[in-house]
Amino acid sequence: MDALNALLTRNSASKLIDPAPAKGELQQIISAALRSPDHARLRPWRFLLIEGQAREALGTLFAEATKRAKTGTSPEILQKASSKSQRAPLIVVVIASTAAHPKVPHLEQQLSAGCAAQNILLAAHALGYAGIWRTGAMAYHQIVRDGLGLASNEEITGFIYLGTMSGEPKVIPELNPDHFATYWTPSS
């Protein structure tokens, strides 16, 4: 698939099944993430790959975080939180790993990590896989952060769920670029 076609046809898929990208494909996907805009070559991102039984451990973290966040949490709610880790055969946790820099503000480094996440989705799509970027409360909960080994200068940009699309892609309405882009004319 050519790059423009990948950009114009990428679509989030919430129902993902096996297979996930194979190791060689995953290396290509991560290599694409490493091509994100990166002022001063800070490389303000890293990636955790979660598959197999590690997804169950992530589910345990999600359940524990949910339990701590809400008193009197029912077993059904805890099970629902835990099951989020089973949404796809592979989860890529994109982590913004920022550092103080005189020319590159924190926000720019976070955006670079966001571009890396988008590149992961685009590369997976170009290879014939599907994915969805999710955040939610678990991306910000200290139990999840600690459980995943985040440092104090790191934050979760997103959980990128990857696999093979189950079912048909959702229909995305065509948007008119003219509604979102205009030429600026300086005032006289």
Whether the full predicted model's pTM is greater than 0.85, yes or no, is: yes
> Which fold does the domain 16-51+88-165 belong to in CATH?
NADH Oxidase (3.40.109)
Q: Calculate the average pLDDT of the chain.
A: 96
Task: Enumerate the domain spans of the chain.
Answer: 16-51+88-165
pLDDT band at residue 73 using 50, 70 and 90 as cut-offs: confident
The answer, yes or no, to whether residue 188 has pLDDT greater than 90, is: no
- Mean pLDDT for the stretch of residues 103-128: 98
- For the stretch 132-166, pLDDT in tens is 999 999 999 999 999 999 999 999 999 999 999 99
Q: What is the pLDDT of residue 105?
A: 98
CA dist., res. 149 & res. 159, Å (int): 15
